[in-house]
Amino acid sequence: YATERLWATSQDGVKVPISLVYRRDLHHESSPLLLYGYGAYELSNDPMFDSARLSLLDRGFIFAIAHVRGGGEMGREWYENG
C-alpha cells in the first residue's frame, strides 16, 4: 500500500489537506475513490491503519480523508474557522 498527501484549494483560497491510501500497483486515473470528510468538535481524523478499509483497497479503491476545517488536524485556528 502507498499513501500521499494532496492539497485542494477551497473556494476562499485556503489549502485543505487530503490524505490518500491505495494499493501500490494501482493506476489512479480510472480508480474509484471513497472520500471521507468530517470536521467538528476539534476532532482529528489522522490517517491510520484500519483493517475495515482493506477490502476496498484490495478491490482497487482509493480511500481519501479530507481534513476539513473544524477538525483539530491543523491547530486551533483551523478548528475555529470550521
pLDDT tens by residue, 28-81: 788 999 999 887 676 677 766 778 889 999 999 999 999 988 877 777 877 677
Domain boundaries, position 18: 2-80
Assign residue 8 a region (left: φ > 0; alpha: ψ between -120 and 50; beta: otherwise).
beta
Residues 62, 13: Cα–Cα separation, whole Å: 25
| Cβ atoms of residues 8 and 26 within 8 Å | no
pTM recorded for the entire structure: 0.81
Over residues 13-30, the mean pLDDT reads 90
**Helix (H, G, I), strand (E, B), or coil: what is residue 76?**
helix
Query: Per the structure, how many domains does the chain have?
Result: 1
**What pLDDT shows up at residue 37?**
82
